[in-house]
Amino acid sequence: MDLKEILAVEAQSYLDNVDTLGLGTGKTVRTLIKHLHKEGLLTKFNVVCSSIDTELAVSQLGGKVLSIQNGIVPDVYLDSFDTLVRRRILVKGGGGALLREKLLAAHSKTRVYLGEGWKLREFPVSVPLEVVPATLHYIYSQLKREGYTVSLRESTGKAGPVVTDNGNLLMDLEARESEDLCQLESRLRGIVGIVETGIFCPNLYDHIVIAHDSSIERIERV
């Protein structure tokens, strides 16, 4: 079993008595969906997803997908992350689904994140930002003036930038080592046109499960 499969097995322990399941986006979540399908569990849940990609993955395997626009409150939200900084702050958005991921994390009863040990890293940290298209150049100039390195995320499947499921664009900002990421998050959210950042502070998780090569580590929110 690879580490993502081990994480999928671990995730199952959070699913007792769950009716409505929230799911994040990415390879870890795809492995989890396949695992639930293989175990005959996927159809047990009403699933609300953080991206069109995850909605397709669930529905293609016969799972029941509810629209995120219905304001469903998941019993449990399962997702992954790109980086866990200082075993405390999650950075997400590698798959460009940060806004809906944060929305579901903010409204779910229990939030569980799954990741491999190599995702525990320190700086440099690249922070994804979802921005309204018309504001892009203003934001770029402002962040450059403040001394940040920022780039527009380019698509690989088409010419031009990545467009999110919400019709916005993505920028990636190099956070400074001296910076408190949660303070940076609230400062960035104060800039007109930045609708979300990939920084997930401890208020947005309950459990983090980390698969190392030969052990499982659990971090609980304090």
Near ligand 5RP by CB under 6 A: residue from 55, 58, 83, 92: 92
Structure tokens that stand for 130 in this block: 């979802």
108 binds ligand 5RP (CB under 6 A): no
The gap from C-alpha 99 to its chain's centroid, in whole angstroms, comes to 8
**Smallest gap from residue 177 Cβ to ligand 5RP (A):** 22
Residue 142 region, left (φ>0) first, then alpha (ψ -120 to 50), else beta?
alpha
125 binds ligand 5RP (CB under 6 A): no
Interacting stretch for ligand 5RP, rule CB under 6 A, among 21-29, 141-149, 151-159, 181-189?
A: 21-29
181: how many CB neighbours lie within 10 A of its CB? 22
**Smallest gap from residue 28 Cβ to ligand 5RP (A):** 3
204 binds ligand 5RP (CB under 6 A): no
The rounded distance, in Å, linking the Cα atoms of 171 and 152 is: 4
Near ligand 5RP by CB under 6 A: residue from 22, 74, 94, 193: 94
The rounded distance, in Å, linking the Cα atoms of 134 and 193 is: 8
Cα dihedral sign for 133, 135, 138, 141? negative
Near ligand 5RP by CB under 6 A: residue from 25, 54, 83, 126: 25
**Which of 10, 55, 101, 196 is labelled catalytic?**
101
Provide the residue count of the chain. 222
117 vs 142, beta carbon nearer ligand 5RP: 117
97 binds ligand 5RP (CB under 6 A): yes
204: how many CB neighbours lie within 10 A of its CB? 21
The rounded distance, in Å, linking the Cα atoms of 197 and 70 is: 23
**Smallest gap from residue 203 Cβ to ligand 5RP (A):** 17
**Smallest gap from residue 147 Cβ to ligand 5RP (A):** 26
N- to C-terminal Cα separation, the chain = 31
Annotated catalytic residue 217? no
Give the active site residues.
101
Interface with ligand 5RP by CB under 6 A: which residues? 24-28, 79-82, 92-98, 101
